[in-house]
Structure formats: C-alpha cells, structure tokens
C-alpha cells in the first residue's frame, strides 16, 4: 500500500520476472498484453538471466510490459529504481 500526497491509499502491484532468454521474455510480454486488462493495476518488469548476471539487479536490465498500450514490445531498459511507468 502506498499513500499518495492527497491522502488516498492505493495498492500497487508489481511483478519482477526473470526469464531464461529474450524469446521467453517477449512471449511473456505478448501473453500479458493479450490477457490482462488496462485497469488491473499490475506493473510487470522483465529481464533475462544473462542480463541479471552481467549487470546485477540494480543495473539497467528491467523492461516494463505496457499492458494498457497494446504494444508487443517492452519499454527501453532501465534500472529498477528509475523505471516508474504507471498506466
């Protein structure tokens, strides 16, 4: 739960996914885009095992699945703390 400046408390759901290869990462993005709805509020960030091993958890390895856009690709890679794209 996160409290906004206006005093409202909202639930923010985030899922970090590490896949074995880029193909699996793209498939996950396509499935999420095809099955989840705009209003679900879920934030999905993905990376591959190789990227994670080479650059670390805090490196610019995370791509975000944009559920609301209908895009089949991920956002440009960024570090976990720099990536805040809300639908």
DSSP helix/strand/coil, 77 = coil
Exposure string for 34-61, b = 16+ CB within 10 A, e = fewer: eeeeeeeeebbbbbbeebbeeeeeeebb
5 pLDDT band, cuts 50/70/90, is low
pLDDT tens digit sequence for 8-27: 666 668 889 999 999 999 99
Residues 35/44, Cβ–Cβ less than 8 Å: no
Looking at residue 14, its pLDDT comes to 82
Query: Is pLDDT above 70 for 50?
Result: yes
For 16, the token pair is 């970090």
What is the percent of the chain with per-residue pLDDT over 70, rounded to a whole number? 60
| Extents of the domains making up the chain | 13-82
Name the average pLDDT for the chain.
Answer: 77
Q: Which residues contact 81 (CB under 8 A, 6 or more apart)?
A: 58
* pLDDT value at 48 more than 90: yes
């Amino acid at each position: 739960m996160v409290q906004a400046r206006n005093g409202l408390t909202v639930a923010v759901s985030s899922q970090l996914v590490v896949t074995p290869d880029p193909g699996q990462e793209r498939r996950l993005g396509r499935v999420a885009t095809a099955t989840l709805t705009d209003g679900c509020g879920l934030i999905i960030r993905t990376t591959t095992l190789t990227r994670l091993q080479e650059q670390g958890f805090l490196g610019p390895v995370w791509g975000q699945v944009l559920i609301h856009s209908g895009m089949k690709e991920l956002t440009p890679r960024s570090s976990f703390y720099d990536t805040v794209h809300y639908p």
